[in-house]
Structure 1
Amino acid sequence: MFNKVLVANRGEIAIRVMRACKELDVKSVAVYSEADKNSLFAKYADEAYYIGGPSPAESYLNIPHIMDAALESGAEAIHPGYGFLAENPQFGEECEKNGLKLIGPKGSVIRDMGSKIISRKLMEKAGVPVVPGTSRGVNDPDEAQEIAGAIGYPVIVKASAGGGGIGMRTVYEEDELLRALESTQSVAGSAFGDSTVFIEKYIEEPRHIEFQILADEQGQTIHVADRECSIQRRHQKLIEESPSPIMTPELRDQMGSAAVKAAASIGYSNAGTVEFLYSEGEFYFLEMNTRIQVEHPITEMVTGVDLVKEQLKIAAGQELNWRQEDIVVRGHAIECRINAEDPLTDFAPNPGKITGYRSPGGLGVRVDSGVYMNYTIPPYYDSMISKLIAWGNSRPEAINRMRRALSEYVILGVKTTIPFHQSMMLSPHFQEAKLHTHFVDEYKKEIMANMEKVIAEDRARVERLKSTFRPSKKVAAVSAAVNSYLAHSVAPKK
């Protein structure tokens, strides 16, 4: 095992990795930007090194500065977390040049899976089902029309090097295709430095189901069950759960075997995720994420496998102690991403100072967070405050536990997505597991109405407390802050 690991990330994922290191008696090294000099993760680490200004380009994307910190600290390996440099093949190559172990797959694998066209070709070769479409770049308008006509509308135009839905355009009619092609090429060239696009059949209301993979460097590959990630907004996940509500032992065996085949066929090692679209009894390869996922805690909750510890052990050359038959799903887990965003104003970011903070607890509740009272959420990075996870013996129990945990969660000073998640837990359609990737758009009115109901109930609870007790000055100040938050959270009445 390593003696010292540098974590090239920030926030809750940095702390998550450092906790795994501590349990394995491995020293952890943090790197931090100017904006994160008072961050919890920098204080939690055994050592911390300043690497630049507040913008990601100055710090968390600055490979030379991170390499300097790693070498100066004496770290033997680097854990990239997710985001930033986690799927940057150049970063892996720089680690290798400097004698550092990247806790992840080889740079060549990261590069291949980062290209949607190359990954699609590799999956076709391995016999993994893919969505009908092209396996090469399409730039000629006439060729694009011919391909789309053969596939059948609607189709989707995607950037080969893209992710997160950036530049993606859905085309329902032939006369929309050329505009979509030009738009996607332009966005792809600007965002990713690669204007190559390809065309696939558009599946109208799919479920997004993914399988967690672990693979050691000796060639053993297993899947660690499934996750449903269909609750999304603009292709960004909002709520995840494990297992998928539609999963059966037979379907898990089919999809899990395909995921293992996908990983093994490219010589994958470490943790990764194979993502599928599922519709009408069929599933198709979507992409492979060559890193730990934001939603990994729900897999840990239902299987008991510490995925980050496994990453560290695999990178240190150890064989997997787990066999496929050892992976058993127990109960159900749900994760809500708590972001500093205002869900009543189209999820507008709302960074700022946290003036009041109380996290939930109790049986089956986990909070992965990197914030604290009086911490200022910087505007330069992702708006995630924490991940709230609830486990139950069944999906209904997990939903009810999540409702209870959300009601206990107090974050003052910034708008958060807590009301959105409370609304989702109240949705009968969510409770009935009628999920697909356009769920939030389809039930937008219901979700908004539930959010206003939740906020009104919170307001009433505060008023009851005020009338029942004579608060101290400190309690009165907190109540005033709650009232201020509620007053600014509810849309004005017409």
Structure 2
Amino acid sequence: MLKRVLIANRGEIAVRIARACRDASIESVGLHAAGEAPYHLTLCDDTVELSAGPRTYLDAGELVRLARETGCDAVHPGYGYLAEDAEFARLVTEAGMTFVGPSPEAIALAGDKVRARSAATACGVPVVAASEGYIEDEDEIVRFGAAHGWPLLLKAANGGGGRGQRLVADAEHAAAALGECREEAVLAFGSDAVFCEQYLDTTRHVEVQVLADTHGGIAILGDRDCSVQRRNQKLLEEAPAPGLADAVRDGLHMSSRTLLRSIGYTGAGTVEFLVTCDRYYFMEINARIQVEHPVTEEVFGVDIVREQLRIAAGEPLSVAEGEPRGHALEVRINAEDVEHGFLPSLGQLDAFSVPHAPGVRFDAGYRATDTVTGGYDSLLGKLIVWGPDRAACLQRTVAALDSVQIAGVDTTVRLARAIVAHPDFASAPVTTRWLTEHLERGDLDLTPRTPAVAAVRPPTSVGLVDTHTVTIDGRAVRVPFAPGSTAAVDVEEARVALAGANPWLAGISADDEADSVSRRVVTSPTTGSVTTVHAKVGALVEEGDQLVVLEAMKMLVPVPSPITGRITEVHASVGDTVNHGEPLLVVDAHAPEHIEPHESVQ
């Protein structure tokens, strides 16, 4: 029996774990950075401040020390961070504590996509064609493309959550894609190992939830469809996966059972597949609890986190396999600006609530007045809706999304509503390309369903021009104003400003307006840290060239050149923390070839 668990995570999953611990009469210890008071602490029996700040969530040795210091006999990693780090699991067990998850050996195998593919092949599970090992240079990518066709996928071998992936259109883009993929893989997973995989178009992303105890018991808890994605990251998930042929569904379940049993897996796990027509192919094993686990809980009436605690304590499974009851849909509500490329949206949550209704559950990681910062993932919470059938579930979801009240940051709520209400989604399963294609065409209805709300915050200086932050329909908009002018902002005037907003060019001073076509001050589209600076004073750049790369909310945000010209000023260096609207550099279409470095260049 576990007595005291360190929750090595934050956000909604930390809330979820704390509640499960409370239900099981297990004490929980929550973590937080200095100056932060996150929601999950209100549910924990004890709390610990991270002396080194947010980066401590990735310090395995320090987390183990904190667990021992606070008298914990177990550690639950949640998802993300070190949840699939075999070394962290090993350190926990070597310290005499229980790791609430698979064994270090199972994590190491599942976490390496190349090794996991080999294990699947040995079990007779179908796999997509891929490189035999890790990619060393772009020549290997070119050879793979010639053999298996273009486009192809580059994937981080230790990746997950859609990060560390690049679609390579042809041989010409191989080198650049390899560099970008490796950079993101190191940032997200600490390893630059990548491999090639054949790209299959018009596929669905379907996964199988599994629980396995230490007594040989395995329970297959159905399947989920996770095909609605942007940038290879999931936005909506539903259970059971709609429209699957019985033979495909049976094959997915059987393959998952066979594969996890063959590697001696214990705990909660997910086996992910690509499904096309009547065929399916293994993608990866997620050796942890998934973000989308609540939809499975709703249709099977099981608490998966509670089962994780039981398995870790050496107890047998308390659930059995069966048929799902009804249908459930999960909507991830992220702090992102959909209309400007899903940029992270930061700020204080002036309002944050979801009214209660039959069949509606909300797993939140924040409360009203909490501040969304760039140091963490963009997930604010998850709306989970159950219905007796899929049609009723979708109808309830639309109504629930219309009732969501969030102000202070941009969110994905309106996009989610547009997806769920779309006839394509309602009538048939969609593919992983569906959302991208509709976003490119701009034919999703993002019209607000609630009256406009305008709230003016104190003016903020962005270095070149003063702005007010105005909230319209729950979306934060920066409106420039002349120093000394009134702070009052008309809603309709702000709408005009919003319609013409360009996130890459916000912050052109009044003196530059007349010459804005030839000279552009490029400002930061979000608050984050600078990971790469490609620009140098005097360099000639083409419109669209990547100038700077930022990291915010575990996302890489490239900043392109708005015009063709020469770099005349650079104000950003690798490692800098920059605020939204802060000047990064200046591009001038008519600058001379030889330019003296600006005095503020770092």
User: Could you list the per-position Cα deviations for residues 389-434 of structure 1 after superposition, in whole angstroms to 9, with x for gaps in the alignment?
Assistant: 1111111111110111111111122221111111112211111234
Equivalent residue of 1:416, what SS? Answer: coil
TM-score normalised per structure 1: 0.88
The 3 A distance-change label for structure 1 pair 406 and 483 is closer
Q: 2:153 aligns with which of 151, 156, 164?
A: 156
Task: Give the CA deviation at 1:194.
Answer: 4.0
Q: Is the 8 A contact 2:349 2:406 kept in 1?
A: yes
Q: Which residue of 1 aligns with 2:409?
A: 414
Task: Give the CA deviation at 1:72.
Answer: 2.1
Give RMSD over aligned pairs. Answer: 2.5
State how far apart, in whole Å, the 1-side matches of 2:285 and 2:35 are.
32
Task: Give the CA deviation at 1:35.
Answer: 4.8
Q: Which amino acid aligns with 2:44?
A: A
The answer on 1:108 being equivalent to 2:105 is yes
Equivalent residue of 2:58, what SS? Answer: coil
Task: Give the CA deviation at 1:153.
Answer: 3.4
State how far apart, in whole Å, the 1-side matches of 2:440 and 2:140 are.
41
Q: Is the 8 A contact 1:159 1:196 kept in 2?
A: yes
Q: Which amino acid aligns with 2:450?
A: D
Q: Is the 8 A contact 1:156 1:201 kept in 2?
A: yes
Task: Give the CA deviation at 1:197.
Answer: 3.1
User: Could you list the per-position Cα deviations for residues 221-278 of structure 1 after superposition, in whole angstroms to 9, with x for gaps in the alignment?
Assistant: 2211000000011111111111111224433221101011111111000001000001
Task: Give the CA deviation at 1:43.
Answer: 2.1
Consecutive unaligned residues of structure 2, counting only runs of 5 or more, are 455-469, 477-490, 502-602
Q: Which residue of 1 aligns with 2:499?
A: 492
Equivalent residue of 2:285, what SS? Answer: strand
Q: Is the 8 A contact 2:410 2:474 kept in 1?
A: no
State how far apart, in whole Å, the 2-side matches of 1:50 and 1:189 are.
27
Q: Is the 8 A contact 1:121 1:135 kept in 2?
A: no
Higher relative contact order (CA 8 A, sep 6+): 1
The answer on 1:253 being equivalent to 2:260 is no
The 3 A distance-change label for structure 1 pair 425 and 365 is same
Q: Which residue of 2 aligns with 1:28?
A: 28
The 3 A distance-change label for structure 1 pair 75 and 182 is closer
Q: 2:69 aligns with which of 63, 68, 72?
A: 72
Task: Give the CA deviation at 1:190.
Answer: 6.5
State how far apart, in whole Å, the 2-side matches of 1:188 and 1:385 are.
24
The answer on 1:379 being equivalent to 2:374 is yes
Task: Give the CA deviation at 1:148.
Answer: 3.3
Percent identity over the alignment? 38
The 3 A distance-change label for structure 1 pair 217 and 147 is same
The answer on 1:336 being equivalent to 2:331 is yes
Q: 2:81 aligns with which of 79, 84, 95?
A: 84
The answer on 1:293 being equivalent to 2:324 is no
Q: Which residue of 2 aligns with 1:223?
A: 220
Q: Which residue of 2 aligns with 1:439?
A: 434
Equivalent residue of 2:253, what SS? Answer: helix
Structure with higher helix content: 1
Q: Which amino acid aligns with 2:102?
A: P
State how far apart, in whole Å, the 2-side matches of 1:399 and 1:168 are.
31
Q: Which residue of 1 aligns with 2:450?
A: 458
Q: Which amino acid aligns with 2:4?
A: K
State how far apart, in whole Å, the 1-side matches of 2:352 and 2:194 are.
45
User: Could you list the per-position Cα deviations for residues 314-371 of structure 1 after superposition, in whole angstroms to 9, with x for gaps in the alignment?
Assistant: 00001113333xx220111110011111212222211211122332211100000122
The answer on 1:396 being equivalent to 2:384 is no
Structure 1 segment 39-188 matched on structure 2, within 5 A: 39-55=38-54, 57=55, 59-139=56-136, 144-177=141-174, 180-181=177-178, 184=181, 188=185
State how far apart, in whole Å, the 2-side matches of 1:489 and 1:440 are.
26
Aligned length: 469
In terms of Rg, which structure is larger? 2
Q: Which residue of 2 aligns with 1:405?
A: 400
The 3 A distance-change label for structure 1 pair 131 and 24 is same
State how far apart, in whole Å, the 2-side matches of 1:192 and 1:483 are.
36
The 3 A distance-change label for structure 1 pair 445 and 148 is closer
State how far apart, in whole Å, the 2-side matches of 1:164 and 1:492 are.
32
The answer on 1:214 being equivalent to 2:206 is no
The answer on 1:19 being equivalent to 2:19 is yes
Q: Is the 8 A contact 1:212 1:223 kept in 2?
A: yes
Equivalent residue of 2:499, what SS? Answer: coil
Equivalent residue of 1:385, what SS? Answer: strand
Q: Is the 8 A contact 1:120 1:135 kept in 2?
A: no
Q: Which amino acid aligns with 1:12?
A: E
Task: Give the CA deviation at 1:161.
Answer: 2.6
State how far apart, in whole Å, the 2-side matches of 1:194 and 1:375 are.
33
Structure with higher strand content: 2
Q: Is the 8 A contact 1:51 1:65 kept in 2?
A: no
